[in-house]
A = this chain, B = another copy of it.
Amino acid sequence: MNRLTTLLGTRWPLIQAPMAGVQDAGLAIAAGAAGALGSLPCAMLAPDALQRELQRLAEAGRPYNVNFFCHTPPEPDAAREAAWRAALAPYYAEIGQDVNAVPAGAGRLPFSAAAADVLEPFKPRVVSFHFGLPSPALLARVKAWGAVVLSSATTVDEARWLEAQGVDAVIAQGLEAGGHRGHFLDHDLTLQTGTFALLPQTKAAVRVPVIAAGGIADAAGVRAAMALGADGVQVGTAYLCSDEATTSALHRATLQSEAARHTQLTTLFTGRPARGIPNRVMRELGALQNAAPEFPLATAAIAPLRAHWEKQGKGDFSPLWSGQNTRGCRSTPAAAITAALAEGFA
C-alpha cells in the first residue's frame, strides 16, 4: 500500500501498539491476522516466557513486532528508596503489611544480549524500542538479522537523533498517547507536544517514514493522521478492551466509564512518566511524585499494594494506563477493531 507496508510486510500501515502488562502474543496474533502489525511487549518477559511467546508468534506465520525498553538501569539510591517507602508506609499499615518486607527489584529489564540470544533464531521482522535505542553493538546485531528497527520520538530532536542512528522508521508519539512517554534526550515534559503539532514537524524533519501515535482511536483518527503526513499509525488504547487483551476487568470498566475523560502522566508506578486514569494513589500522593525512585525501581514497592487491592476488585494502586482518547475502546475481537481502523486507509 505504501513504503511503510513494504517495510512492515503488512496489509495496512497500522501497528497494534505494544502494551506491557495488558497483552501477550494473543493480541498480536489477532491484530496480525486482520492485517495490522501485531506487537509483543517484551520488557516484562523473562527469557523462557519470551521464548514461549515468540514460538506462538512464529507459528502464526505473519510478520510481527517485538518491543523492548532500552533504558540504562539506574544505580539504586538508598535515600530515595527510603523516602518512597515512607510515603507508601501508611498504605501498607492500612492493609496490615510491612513495606520494609518488600524486596527491591529491577522491575523492567532493558534490551540485552541475553534477549537478543532468545530473539535471534526467530528473526522477528520488526524490532521496536522505547526510551531511545540499545548500544550500537546490540543495535547492529539486530539489524544484521535484517530486522526493521523502529523507535519512538516525542520531539523533533529525538526523531532526528533516531534517524542518524539508523532506524528504519520513527514513531512520533504525541502527548495524547497512553502508557510510558518515550522521551530520552531530555526529561523536560514541557518539550512534548500534541500529535497535531508533533507529526507534521517530525515529518518535515526526517526522511524515514513517520508513524503517528497518540489520540488515534478510529478510522477518522487514521484519516486525520494520514492527512497530516503520517506514513502509518500506531494504536494502543483502542485495543485495550479487545477480547484478546489481558487487561483486567476493572481496568476495562474504567476505560469505558466517564472517568477515562481524565488521564494524567504519573511516575508512581515505575518511576517514569506514563499516562493513566487517575486513581486513589495518584490523587493522594500526587501523580508526578518526585520521591518515586528512578525508572524502573519504583515498581517494586507499589506492586504488593496493587495486588492486595486488585483482589478486592479495586484499582486504587493499579496503573490504569490509557491514552487521552478512549472512544475506540470496544469490547470486541481485535480483528473488528483492526478492520474499523483500516477503513481510515480506504
Contact = CB atoms under 8 A, between A and B. Distances in A.
Interface of A: 155-157, 174-176, 190-191, 193-198, 200-201, 204, 214-218, 220-221, 223-225, 227-229, 261-265, 287, 323-325, 327
A75 to B, nearest CB: 29
A18 to B, nearest CB: 20
Given A227-B220, A261-B155, A327 B215 contact: no
Contact of A191 (B262, B287, B325): B262
A200 B221 contact: yes
Contact of A287 (B190, B201, B220, B265): B190
Sorted nearest first, the 9 A-B pairs with minimum C-beta distance are A196-B215, A194-B194, A197-B324, A197-B325, A224-B224, A223-B227, A224-B227, A193-B324, A176-B194
A196 B216 CA distance: 7
B325 A200 contact: yes
A227 B323 CA distance: 20
B200 A218 contact: yes
Contacts of A176: 193-194, 196-197
A261 B197 CA distance: 9
A214 B227 contact: no
A200 B176 CA distance: 13
Most chain B Cβ neighbours within 10 Å, of A157, A176, A191: A176
26 contacts: A157-B261, A175-B194, A176-B193, A176-B197, A190-B262, A191-B261, A193-B324, A193-B325, A194-B195, A194-B214, A194-B324, A195-B195, A196-B196, A196-B224, A196-B325, A197-B215, A197-B323, A197-B324, A197-B325, A200-B218, A200-B221, A220-B228, A221-B228, A223-B224, A224-B225, A227-B227
Contacts of A324: 193-194, 196-198
A224 B228 contact: yes
Contacts of A325: 193, 196-197, 200-201
Contacts of A220: 200, 227-229
Nearest to A324: B197
Contacts of A265: 190
A175 B194 CA distance: 7
Contacts of A327: 200-201, 204
